[in-house]
Structure 1
Amino acid sequence: MMKRCMWVKTTEPLYVEYHDKEWGVPVYDDRILFEMLCLEGAQAGLSWWTVLQKRENYRNAFDQFEAEKIIQYTDEKLQSLIENQGIIRNKMKIYSVVTNAKAFLKIQQEYGSFSSYIWGFVDNKPIINNWETVKDVPTSNEISDKMSKQLKRDGFKFVGSTICYSYMQAVGMVNDHTLECFCHPSR
């Protein structure tokens, strides 16, 4: 039997697959990086499981996270999102996706890609941690603090340090699989 990080306390296939194939795996695709930033913001105050179950609904509701389309959203479109029971219907979180799409496109213009910008926080190389247990894994660090402050300065919303650290884990900027987990790079 494969050992996984202790936070995977279920055999739910969607959750297990997320842990095994996505969490901690480096992502460089701008659209996926934008999607994950928006989903991590949607998670604020909730569990990742809640968001993960709604991810396909989010993709459909937000045009596959195509920022160029999102910045064109009308008041009617935003109201339909607020009424969409397939996503988290928090008005501030929904509006933040539009705000973040604008900031994302500006970053792409300035840096050539969002990937270049965001990966610059870790010197373009994943950080591999060696935590014994899930209790050792932090919820934020100096890098997520710096990232949060810069993202806010650049116009992003729902990007506090804890959200940024969770984002870093989700897109593989930091690998926090515990040492006993079969996904840890030492295995």
Structure 2
Amino acid sequence: MTTLENRPNTALLVVDVQKGVMAEAHEADAVVANVGALVEKARRAGVPVVWVQHADEDMPKGSDAWEYVPELPRAGEEPLVEKAYGDSFEDTTLEPVLAGLGVGRVVVSGAQTDACIRSTLHGALTRGYDTTLVSDAHTTEDLTRWGAPPPAQVIAHTNLYWTHQSAPGRTAGTVTTEELEFTTAQ
């Protein structure tokens, strides 16, 4: 139902599952395993997997912290989008990559829930994409010392509000890793 014309395909976005991001992430091992399962499902169905990789002063490009976790190897032909802002679309090549693949629906996974995941979800929906969040394949670190709710509550709240998101001509919602079924790419 995307508002983007001639974009019938789906892509899996794997956002910032990098060593520096995941080092103190809530239930990191389970989330990495779920993202890995999603990547395998997408590959089996011929659905593009698009990797998004953040760099900033705390996680400079080329540093060990900047690298993706070793459990999630990117296949050489899978697109890699580098970013410097929370929204994976902001000042990146993501939109042209997705347009080239005929993608009008994105399935979002990765980190951090309360930063790059939320920004990317909203960025996709406002740009016309159908946008699905995989409810058990995103995480965040504990930011309670700065007044944030505990990570499990941040994740649960994001899942709750994204389940009920809507926009004209677009769909949004959540699905678990187990529930997600990719159809074979066209």
Higher strand proportion (structure 1 or 2): 2
TM-score range, shorter chain: under 0.3
Higher helix proportion (structure 1 or 2): 1
